[in-house]
Amino acid sequence: MKKIHFAILVCTLALTTACFKDLDQRPDTSSETDAGTVYSTLDGYRSMLAKNYGSYVLTGLEKGGGNADLTSNNGQDLMRCYFNLQEAATDEIAYTWLSGDKMTDLVSMNWDENDPWVGDTYYRLYYTITLCNEFLRHRSEAASLTGTEQNEVNSYMAEARFVRALAWWMVLDLYNQGAFVDENTPMGSYTPEARNARELFSYIESELKAISDGTDGLKDRVEYGRACKAAAWFLLARLYLNAEVYGAGDHYEDCVTYCKKVRGAGYTLEEDYGKLFNADNDKRSDEIIFAFVTDATHTVTWGGATYVVCGQCDHENIIGVEKYGIDVGWGSFRVHGELPDLFDPVDITQSTDTRCRFYSAGRTKNLDKGIDDPSNGYFAMKWSNLKDDGTPSSTTSENGVDTDWPLMRLADVYLMEAEAVLRGATGTSADDAMGLVNEVRERAQASPVVASNFNLDFMLKERAREFYLEAQRRTDLRRFGCFTTSAYLWQWKGGVLDGRAVDAKYEYYPIPAAEISANANLKNLNYR
């Protein structure tokens, strides 16, 4: 069983911000503890910080989401919602339970302001932001602590700002705008101002720089599951790589700068790719810069990595769920045929690439019978609940998985830097950039890329090979101009067998209709 680094205090504080439907659905306060008591000790601060981190993978104060934080359409955690918004409309997952899980519109790229997953993701993100804002409002209570404890609280405050900046980046990337609230937002009746993509970009950038470069900022290294300076540098690199998509101009040189900062922080690539996604992946802090921690004893969730480990497994047990370290497969999704086609040779059973992890025996690769027909499509075999010794880590039907979500990995830093060079950055030479890519490919036992093939088309494919089922694909496709356009078609893109381009409004998701009604400062262009 992995070490638990954060134990979440079972209490909530009253949170109030006007005009947000998610906060009209207030956190349960039946076990509410007075703020003066919670913030009177360092342990109290630590517990509330843990709640901020946990808001990405948990939905309530009890096992599996009991005593729910919010009432929502689907009752699922933020990372399950985020995964669906990042993967369902792409060339990676083929979702099985379309109507039952209310996924039809997401998969066919036909969502609107009332889509339940679009709404739940929005409210979950703002719940996280509000938790962090509330935490940051209580800095002054630390005055009663010792000097050493106050220094630790300062570090906790920087971590809360990171957790909030991460949520704001997701708001920016998914919705392209947002109603702005922070720890200085007036309490009570107040209508938040709207911030567009460029404004959110600038805010996130300033926050991440402040906490990674300031004297009261993040630490150089912290225990696994918490954010250090390298995590902020990583997020800055990702922000800069996508800056043009956000209307913020060319920041590829900045992307290279912050990738180099992460590379200089002492991380190394994990030798075994598969161990990055198993139940002992908390031991991979050599490569994993930041992860969302899941534990089958203390932080049981049906989302997070549980959703991907169990969801990728067929519910009819065709493969044998023991190969994944689980006892029941959900059969939530399979993969599009375009994904295994990215690996050489096309006959994946002959591929030496250790990232090529699909079950194809007796399966049709393409989805000719329909995207929700479970007889179509290969199964993914990337994630598992097995420990390094090959034994299951938990009984998943009762407690979920022990596998953490590796949100930030060094391999991503290498590929971001290389892509930025291909897009014009000069802080790294082309040869060195290609060398970074080949380090990733060498780990996977894939043949090296050569100069004649080292281009942006290769990079989009390489990112799919390295990061499939890690909730990155929509963001990547947008950056390459391939998400809504005809530049790249896959089966069932836009809801038709051969794929088609869709309206450019689907480049980002709409703010939920209830929020538009509640806040006159918000508008959904092209969705009405």
**Three-state secondary-structure class, residue 70:** coil
| CA 502/CA 513 separation, integer angstroms | 22
> Where are the chain's structural domains?
12-218+484-528
CA distance to 111, 205, 211, 326, per residue, from 201 (Å): 25, 6, 16, 40
325: left (phi over 0), alpha (psi -120 to 50) or beta: left
Q: Which two tokens stand for residue 158?
A: 């920087």
Q: Which amino acid, residue 29?
A: T
**Three-state secondary-structure class, residue 288:** strand
Residue with tokens 């399979």: 334
pLDDT tens across the length of the chain (528 residues): 343 343 333 233 333 333 333 333 334 434 456 777 889 999 999 999 999 999 999 988 777 777 778 888 888 999 999 999 999 999 999 999 999 999 999 999 999 999 999 999 999 999 999 999 999 999 999 999 999 999 999 999 999 999 999 999 999 999 999 999 999 998 878 899 999 999 999 999 999 999 998 777 999 999 999 999 999 999 999 999 999 999 999 999 999 999 999 999 999 999 999 999 999 999 999 999 999 999 898 888 999 999 999 999 988 888 889 999 999 999 999 999 999 999 987 788 899 999 999 999 999 999 999 999 999 999 999 999 999 999 999 999 999 999 999 999 999 999 999 999 999 999 999 999 999 999 999 999 999 999 999 999 999 999 999 999 999 999 999 999 999 999 999 999 999 999 999 999 999 999 999 999 999 999 998 886
Phi, psi of 179 (to 5 degrees): -80, 125
Phi, psi of 68 (to 5 degrees): -60, 145
109 and 506 in contact (C-beta within 8 Å)? Answer: yes
Q: What is the CATH number of domain 12-218+484-528?
A: 1.25.40.390
Residue with tokens 């093939």: 453
CA distance to 96, 253, 282, 365, 476, per residue, from 263 (Å): 39, 15, 20, 38, 22
415 and 347 in contact (C-beta within 8 Å)? Answer: no
52 and 15 in contact (C-beta within 8 Å)? Answer: no
